[in-house]
Structure formats: structure tokens, C-alpha cells
Amino acid sequence: MPRLGKLFGVGVGPGDPDLISLKAVKVLNSVSVVYCAYSPKNSYSLAREIVAPHLRDDVPLVRLDFPMTREKERLQQAWSRNAYQIFHTLRDGKDAAFVTLGDPMIYSTFGYVMRAIKEIAPEVEITIVPGISSFQAAAAATGRVLAEAEESFVVISGAMGARKLKEVAGVADTVIMLKVYKQYEEILQGLQTLNLSKDSVLVTRCGLEGEKIIKDLEGPNGSIPPYLSLLIIKKGQRKLRG
């Protein structure tokens, strides 16, 4: 049987092009094809901009469209379709990389693609190259320690609003909430209900042009933040109410 190519899931960091790892660059220079996820509505990909300067001239950077939807059937169709496209490269004996912002194992499209490829061909070898996550970069930018001594922190998604916030804020010293832009107003209300607004910080476009760090969210809400936004919520010594 011909050799199958190897697939690399490559994290390229949170957005700052200087935060891509040496190992990621080494892998990108070793593969035959690099795949990058896009929204069908956009022609721009930050992950693509980060990796493009590091690619050899003969390495194609191939766009894969993934719909921004919660419709399970459409998502599964996209995962399967794109997994088959990647597998065709691997079947020809060529190594390939799938690049993703942050880390491939944290809220990444790569996890779904990896499982879909394993369903097609369980024997495919897959190697993960970790990347710096957005919340690590945000902690550095704000100078906020996420956890020390016996403290704990938890990472949650804000895509569905504030529904998990009260649950985890009661058990973790720090809450990192990603994907806050769509449900930002509801999330702010949740912070106010839990008496956590003052100890929270909003970080948008961390490490990129237009970066903003907004502390003390008890003031005016302002506008809805951009897509690349997250909250660092420190419980401190405040007692939860409600």
C-alpha cells in the first residue's frame, strides 16, 4: 500500500505574527500543502496572513470554507467535504498542514476536521503543533495572573451568552470567556448580576493593530466588540449574589 501523507494541525498563535513558534515554521516548510479555514462570507484570513511569509514559493496555501452556523447538518457536511479534500492530498503521499489561530485543541475547527479524517482513514498519522492561545496573550497584555498557588481558572465560550458564567464563577478564581462579541450585552448583564463587572477586563484584537484593553466594565457598555475579543473575569474577594 502506498505511503499516506502525514497531517499536521498547526497553531499559529493569537494574531501577533511574531508569536508563531519555531516548530510551526519548521513544519510549514516541510509539507507539500497548507490548508486554511475561511468563512464563506470573507476573503480575509488572519491565519493565512501569519503563515504566508513563512511558506516556500512552491507550497500552495489552499482555502477551505466552513460556514459560521450552528446548523449541525451544514457543519457536518463542511467537515466531511473538507476532510476528504485534505485526505486526497494525504492519499497521494504528500504531507499537509492545517493552520489555525491560537491552539489546534482549543475551540478550533481543526478538532472537527481531525475526527472526520480519522473516520475516513483511521491509519492517517496526525501530529499537533501547539500554539499560544488568545487568553495567554491577553493575560500578558493586561499583566493579569490567571492562577497562582492553589487558585484555578476555567475557559468557557460566550457564544451562547452568559448561561455558563454563574455556574463556573462559583468554583473558579478566574474565568476566561472567549467568543464574547455576539452576546456581549447579555454577558455584561451577567457580570453585573454576579457583581463581577469591576474586576473584569475586555481585551480586543490582542497583539494586532487596534488592540484595546478596557478595564472596569461597570461604566457605559459602549459598542459591541469585534470578533477577536475575550473577557478575563477575576472573582477576587467579592461574594457572588443572586
Does the pLDDT of residue 175 top 70, yes or no? Answer: yes
Distance between CA atoms of residues 13 and 157, nearest Å? 18
Distance between CA atoms of residues 134 and 207, nearest Å? 9
In this predicted structure, what is the pLDDT of residue 241?
Answer: 38
In this predicted structure, what is the pLDDT of residue 209?
Answer: 93
Q: Are 28 and 54 in contact (CB under 8 A)?
A: yes
Segment 122-153, tens digit of pLDDT: 999 999 999 999 999 999 999 999 999 999 99
Per-residue confidence at 115, pLDDT binned at 50, 70, 90?
very high
How many Å separate Cα 213 from the centre of its chain? 19
Classify residue 192 by burial, with Cβ atoms within 10 Å: 0-12, 13-18, 19+.
Answer: middle
Q: Tell me the average pLDDT across 35-50.
A: 86
Does the pLDDT of residue 242 top 60, yes or no? Answer: no
Helix (H) or strand (E) holding 98: strand 96-100
Q: Are 91 and 4 in contact (CB under 8 A)?
A: yes
Beta bridge partners of 61: 34
Question: All domains of the chain, ordered by start, with CATH?
Answer: 7-129 (3.40.1010.10), 134-234 (3.30.950.10)
Cell numbers for 112, please give them. Answer: 472537527
In this predicted structure, what is the pLDDT of residue 236?
Answer: 59
Q: Which amino acid is at 89?
A: T
- Closest by CA to 10, choosing from 123, 112, 108, is 108
Handedness of CA 224, 225, 231, 233 (dihedral sign): negative
3-class DSSP state of 132? coil
Q: Are 146 and 139 in contact (CB under 8 A)?
A: yes
Does the pLDDT of residue 21 top 80, yes or no? Answer: yes
Q: Tell me the average pLDDT across 98-104.
A: 96
Average pLDDT across the chain, whole number: 90
In this predicted structure, what is the pLDDT of residue 66?
Answer: 84
Per-residue confidence at 220, pLDDT binned at 50, 70, 90?
low
Q: Are 170 and 229 in contact (CB under 8 A)?
A: no
Ordered alpha helix ranges (H), the chain: 22-28, 46-51, 72-91, 109-120, 134-142, 165-169, 184-193
